Amino acid sequence: MPKDAQATIDLNRIREMLKQKKGRMKLCLRACAGCTLCAESCFLFRSHDGDPRYMPSYKVLKTLGTLYRKRGKVSEAQLEQMKELVWRNCVLCGRCYCPFDIDIPNMIAFTRSILRSQGICGVYPHSMGATEEDYRQCAAEIQGEIESDSSESE
Ligand code: SF4
Ligand code: SF4
């Protein structure tokens, strides 16, 4: 019997998560005018010769947009493709600029949560060619900065 690709996906969980933020997320998805102004604010888009797969709006429309459009009913292969877009093609630096106040990083973070709920996750910041060890070192440095900031403000 062929393997049922849908069998490993918890569709109810995906739908439940989509429903929790439906109002805000769908509003943002509809509000996107496709103007591409956000593209220039993404260093990954600029450093990949304008490859559209690195465009902030593309990353959310092809992931979260697809999840809402299909009401969560996507294949595992599609979720794996989404993983590439929201982890490899985005480091969640929060620098995307949208004149319509569409919060792209928030939408990408939400998409990551949905993927994590299905046991799918990427390694940040994989897109910059960093190793897992680089990541751990970077995380330790950030943690150190946070601790130092909080002790200074006490
Ligand atoms: S996210 Fe904003 S800036 Fe980017 S294409 Fe959509 S409307 Fe334009
Ligand atoms: S949060 Fe992601 S999409 Fe936005 S500028 Fe940073 S890398 Fe690009």
The domain of 144 spans 129-154
**pLDDT higher than threshold 60 for residue 7:** no
Specify the residue for token string 């999840």. 67
The CATH number for 104's domain is 1.10.1060
Mean pLDDT check: name the lowest of 21-25, 62-66, 131-135.
Answer: 131-135
**pLDDT higher than threshold 80 for residue 79:** yes
Mutate to test the pocket of ligand 1, among 28, 54, 57 (most ligand atoms within 8 A of CB): 57
**pLDDT higher than threshold 80 for residue 50:** yes
135 and 116 in one domain?
no
Distance in Å, CA 143 to ligand 1 centroid: 32
* 104 within ligand 2 shell (Cβ under 6 A): yes
95 and 38 in one domain?
yes
Does any domain span residue 4?
no
Tell me the pLDDT band of 8, cut-offs 50, 70 and 90: confident
Q: What is the pLDDT of residue 3?
A: 42
- Measuring from atom 7 of ligand 1, which residue has the nearest CA? 32
**pLDDT higher than threshold 70 for residue 142:** no
3-state percent helix, strand, coil for the chain, nearest multiple of 5: 65, 0, 35
Tell me the pLDDT band of 1, cut-offs 50, 70 and 90: very low
* 36 within ligand 1 shell (Cβ under 6 A): yes
Neighbours of 86 (CB within 10 A): 26
- End-to-end Cα, the chain, rounded Å: 63
Does any domain span residue 75?
yes
Q: What is the pLDDT of residue 17?
A: 98
Does any domain span residue 136?
yes
* The total number of structural domains that make up the chain: 2
Does any domain span residue 3?
no
83 and 53 in one domain?
yes
Query: What is the atom index within ligand 2 of the atom nearest the CA of 55?
Result: 3
Q: Return the ligand number nearest the Cα of 47.
A: 2
Mean pLDDT for 80-108 is: 95
103 and 73 in one domain?
yes
- Measuring from atom 2 of ligand 1, which residue has the nearest CA? 98
Mean pLDDT for 8-33 is: 96
134 and 109 in one domain?
no
59 and 101 in one domain?
yes
**pLDDT higher than threshold 50 for residue 127:** no
Does any domain span residue 2?
no
Its sign, for the CA torsion 73, 74, 79, 85, is: negative
137 and 114 in one domain?
no
